[in-house]
A and B are shown apart, each in its own frame.
Chain A
Amino acid sequence: MLRERGQREVFCGLTGIIWLHRKIQDAFFLVVGSRTCAHLIQSAAGVMIFAEPRFATAIIDERDLAGLADCNAELDRVVARLLERRPDIRMLFLVGSCPSEVIKLDLSRAAERLSASFMPKVRVLNYSGSGIETTFTQGEDACLAALVPILPVESASAKQSLLVVGALAEVVEDQFRRLFTAIGIDDVRFLPPRSAMQLPAIGPATRYLLAQPFLADTARALEARGATRLAAPFPLGVEGTTAWLHAAAQAFGISDSRFHTAVAPEQERARGALARHREQLAGRRIFFFPDSQLEIPLARFVSRELGMELVEVGTPYLHRPHLAEELAMLPAGTMLSEGQDVERQLDRCLAAAPDMTVCGLGLANPLEAKGLTTKWSIELLFTPVQGFNQAADLAELFARPLVRRARLMV
């Protein structure tokens, strides 16, 4: 295990807004930050304005810093204007940034104050997506953790229920809901919900499954509300999905035979679909740059189900308790690295000359230009990849760059 501290070529937590604002359809994300923050989200989103976005930036300017304008009064004015324009919004997140944290703008107090004036129509919450506090997907963790305190209380005497935690594509959510029903678990809730008005209730009867590996703070907040985590690997690939579902089945006292009857056809179909990609990928050497914290579950999937060889698996942050099952499944002696010194890591990557490099958008083309085949890691977050029916799609994301390289004759 290599721990590095140097230049980290990663996004900050604000980037999570790109998927979260589409997930919770009546929520709006207002970053309180600088022009850099606005530029980052817009650039990471690819300037794709399909519709008016449900995010914006309140750009702090010189007047705010010099104390000529009262930041809180300014924020109230901006929020009022925003909510007037968007009467459909039911939940507003004030998202802290590097500058707002350095100047110690207290967004939790601002959120309380604004909530008091806009409730019950709009609830105002806050979390930090700043780069000094969060790396990329930790923004989602901070956002979900901010939701936990406002989740309705479920009485201790309630029947045991299942909460799936972590943003998933709607198609995946629907598949999981059907699967849980088939297994015999009917009361399944999701966090984040699709609407701010449908917050799942939690309490001591709540058993939760993490759908994403980067939710440390959310898990802590859920436990504080009495919920219990079901330890499992993450639902990537046939093996991961099976074990993830099985953890729930066990907690809900479902017999193994019923479980297997429910999942066997899906497993079968997914294995068949994977086989084609396995042919392409088996024996290929893969290198993961740290990005989304999905690296370890992905590495487990590509090594065990696709037969790929792991050169280095980088992760921005390793949460050992949540990843215990994943780590146990990695081949012995896998080279893990936590944190980053991007220059040294590039040196290692170029020296190892892997067949496939998983990395961020800033590194992909420069590595391609040096003859390496890359997969942009952000696509692994923006594509539905969890569950049985997506296992082959996930494999295909790795296979496509290699297929492409083989096809091109120029």
Chain B
Amino acid sequence: MQLTLWTYEGPPHVGAMRVATAMRGVHYVLHAPQGDTYADLLFTMIERLPQRPPVTYTTFQARDLGGDTAELFKNAARDAYDRFKPQAMMVGASCTAELIQDDPGGLARALDLPVPVVALELPAYQKKENWGAAETFYQMVRALAGAAPRERAAGAQPSCNLLGPTALGFRHRDDVTEITALLGKLGIRVNVTAPLGASPADLARLGDADFNVVLYPEIASQAANWLQRNFNQPYTRTVPIGVGATRDFIVEVSRLAGVDATDLLAAEDSRLTWYSRSVDSTYLTGKRVFVFGDATHAIAAARVAAQELGFTVVGLGTYSREFARDVREAAKAYGVEALIADDYLDVEAKIAEAHPELVLGTQMERHIAKRLGVPCAVISAPVHVQDFPARYSPQMGFEGANVLFDTWVHPLMMGLEEHLLGMFREDFEFHADAAPSHLGTGAKPVAEPAAAVVPAAVPVAVQAPVEVQGPVVWSPDGQKELGKIPFFVRGKARRNTEKFAAERGLTTITVETLYDAKAHFGR
């Protein structure tokens, strides 16, 4: 048993729903108790889809358990077919139905429906949402991709499939548009995008492409591997998030497609590159960022943060255990130890410990950051209604990089503002505890009144000033001087000063100790 306050991923059948909902002409019959229909609201409320997900639930109750739940499933599957007339069906069980072992796959086969029926085995007590989406997509591809592909005619336009975008994905809608356009500029045609927008008939055409572009490895790796083995289609390894990765991606796809990318690379149109070099961005240098998200977005964000914005990555982590190795590998490059955790409390403790000036995380980290008084930008699922903006807002490609620049830089104190704060830190309205002018009260460095109970895991130092910290005591003057340091560096100053004092065996930190430590550590 695992104690869980908040969860980064839903159960695996929600992953299957993301695939079913993304596709056209598919219906998913889910053996599930009453109440599991809550998952519909993820799509209709969070993603604001104007139609219900194509899912029928058996919604069995206690009284059905004594009777024939298998019959209930068969009726539901038959009725769903008659009503929705899908081109293909998916059948499976949610966590509770898995326990009653009705075998939806076998029951559906017995119905002998006139369309392909894909039986999903998604172990709900071991696996989670992204795994469920990946497994579902893989099973759908296996079942529907058809026979070995035709030979490509000589001189035909090179083509690829875009694999991985689903419903309820973090900016998948706009990433597909951006990458399709980018490939178009290289003269590469997109044969099928799947699962998003694909019908079972489209999956049958997957083999027509020369190669596959894996946009989201968490969802598409398994299917892409199968297509490589069976259809001899190579697939891309670079996820084009950030300017550097987009350049690498262009090189990789042009090699796979046998096209020349020189012109496109020469004519690169990125605002991030110039904005990041413009003098106002100097203040971004060395900002401490903590990155946490799904593996793909976290690894990409760390690279952009370090190489394209000049930040210092002080933490990198993921909740995607399946991709822990990739994240550990990436973390090495920044000299940090990767955090592999799906326990919200552990993540909170690590962030507090790292004293970042910016958190790049999920909606969960947004709340952690809010509590710690640190700005935050969201880079990854789990999704929130705000992650489906009305405007075009991709993460991938050159436009995606521009979006990242804006999204990550806006929550920070602006350059001049930061200097003025340093100068006039005792002004009664412009003091060190004031929030950045453009952020309102949201980024106040004090604990929220509602958050009266501070989790034990969060060091007291960042929550409220205290007199005593270990054996070292702050003198009243030292404490007062510390208060004049802007909040976004105060934690670091406190930590460094205490370390400095402890190393020298000092028991009291005075104003002098504070400045001695400042001179010692520099900034």
Chain A positions within 8 Å of B, measured between CB atoms, are 7-15, 32, 34-36, 38-40, 42-44, 47, 49-53, 56-62, 64-65, 69, 71, 74-75, 77-78, 81-82, 84-86, 88, 98-99, 101-103, 130-133, 135, 343, 360-366, 368-369
Contacts and interface: CB of A to CB of B under 8 A. Distances in A.
B453 A52 contact: yes
B106 interface: no
Contact of B44 (A39, A60, A363): A363
Top 9 nearest A-B pairs (CB, nearest first) are A12-B35, A131-B35, A362-B40, A369-B50, A51-B450, A98-B96, A361-B41, A34-B95, A74-B1
25 contacts: A7-B57, A7-B59, A8-B34, A12-B33, A12-B34, A15-B38, A32-B1, A34-B125, A35-B4, A36-B11, A36-B13, A40-B35, A43-B41, A51-B450, A52-B5, A52-B453, A57-B7, A61-B2, A62-B126, A98-B33, A132-B65, A362-B37, A362-B52, A364-B45, A366-B52
Nearest to A57: B4
A321 to B, nearest CB: 21
A350 to B, nearest CB: 13
A49 B46 CA distance: 16
Residue picked from B13, B38, B455, most chain A C-beta under 10 Å:
B38
Nearest to B457: A85
A19 B458 CA distance: 27
Nearest to B1: A74
A315 to B, nearest CB: 15
Contacts, number: 199
Given A39-B14, A61-B126, A135-B34, A102 B100 contact: yes
Q: Which of B5, B96, B126 has the most CB of A within 10 A?
A: B96
B491 interface: no
A369 B455 CA distance: 43
B56 interface: yes
Interface string B1-36: 111111101110110000000000000000001111
A362 B61 CA distance: 20
A343 B10 CA distance: 26
Given A57-B4, A363-B44, A365-B50, 13 more contacts: A7-B58, A7-B59, A8-B34, A13-B35, A14-B35, A43-B42, A84-B456, A99-B96, A102-B99, A131-B33, A361-B44, A364-B44, A366-B50
B341 to A, nearest CB: 14
Given A7-B56, A363-B44, A71 B1 contact: yes
Interface in B57-88: 57-62, 64-65, 76, 79, 83
B1 A61 contact: yes
A74 B49 CA distance: 40
Contacts of B152: none
A34 B124 contact: yes
Contacts of A42: 6-7
B51 interface: yes
A309 B161 CA distance: 53
A342 to B, nearest CB: 8
Contacts of B448: 50-51
Interface string B111-142: 00000000000011110100000000000000
A39 B33 contact: no
A322 B315 CA distance: 58
Contacts of A102: 65, 96, 99-100
Nearest to B50: A369
Contacts of A84: 456
A343 to B, nearest CB: 6
